[in-house]
Amino acid sequence: MKPDLIIETLQASHNRSAFGCGVPALDRYFREQASQDVKRRVSNCFAAVNRDGAIAGYYTLAASSVPIASLPEDQTKRLPRYPILPVTLIGRLAVDARFQAKGIGSALIIDALRRSVQAAPASFALVVDAKDEQAAAFCRRHGFVPLKSRALSLFLPVATALKLFGPEALP
């Protein structure tokens, strides 16, 4: 993560109109919907902001759950047989085109992991609903694996993520 970027809770003062990641639906959501979702407490939104106030990227985070039956068997051996497991959902994640390929997408995932670990309710894994194969490839590059029969829904156990990302990810 570049030192001149901070990741903070979405604020009214953030200028979202110039944000463009190349996926119109993600830009529109950020401009028009994100703060409504925060207000209604259906998801939180975090923005990476540079020294000049430009928004380099954002992601959303919400409590969610997955059926244990949707996880590959090799992932459930050490888990209790609860039918439903708590997860943290990264509903949307996007980096402005001017800031892509600088490690900001990775930094947003690590920030989501840190916030998930620090939250009071326990969460077994991060889950991402990738919008297409390219987004899924980005998630797989970060250790996410597909849920059974849902190739575009991927999960990353928090314990695995902490090992993968190292001390940077620790609270």
Binding site for ligand COA (CB under 6 A): 21-23, 26, 93-95, 100-106, 128, 130-131, 134-135, 137-139, 141
**Tokens 């959501």 map to which residue?**
29
Minimum gap (Å) between residue 35 Cβ and ligand COA: 19
Q: Which is nearer to ligand COA, 54 or 68 (CB)?
A: 54
Please tell me the distance from the alpha carbon of residue 159 to that of residue 105, in angstroms, as a whole number.
Answer: 20
Minimum gap (Å) between residue 139 Cβ and ligand COA: 5
Integer angstrom CA distances of residue 156 from 23, 92, 107, 159: 24, 16, 15, 8
Please tell me the distance from the alpha carbon of residue 2 to that of residue 39, in angstroms, as a whole number.
Answer: 30
Minimum gap (Å) between residue 60 Cβ and ligand COA: 11
Q: Which is nearer to ligand COA, 129 or 160 (CB)?
A: 129
Minimum gap (Å) between residue 132 Cβ and ligand COA: 7
What's phi and psi for 143, nearest 5 deg?
95, -5
Q: Which is nearer to ligand COA, 113 or 130 (CB)?
A: 130
Please tell me the distance from the alpha carbon of residue 79 to that of residue 68, in angstroms, as a whole number.
Answer: 9
Minimum gap (Å) between residue 161 Cβ and ligand COA: 15
For the CA atoms of the chain, what is the radius of gyration?
16
Q: Which is nearer to ligand COA, 89 or 128 (CB)?
A: 128
User: Exposed, middle or buried: residue 106 (CB in 10 Å: 0-12, 13-18, 19+)?
Assistant: middle
Helix (H, G, I), strand (E, B) or coil at 76: coil
Q: Which is nearer to ligand COA, 51 or 79 (CB)?
A: 51
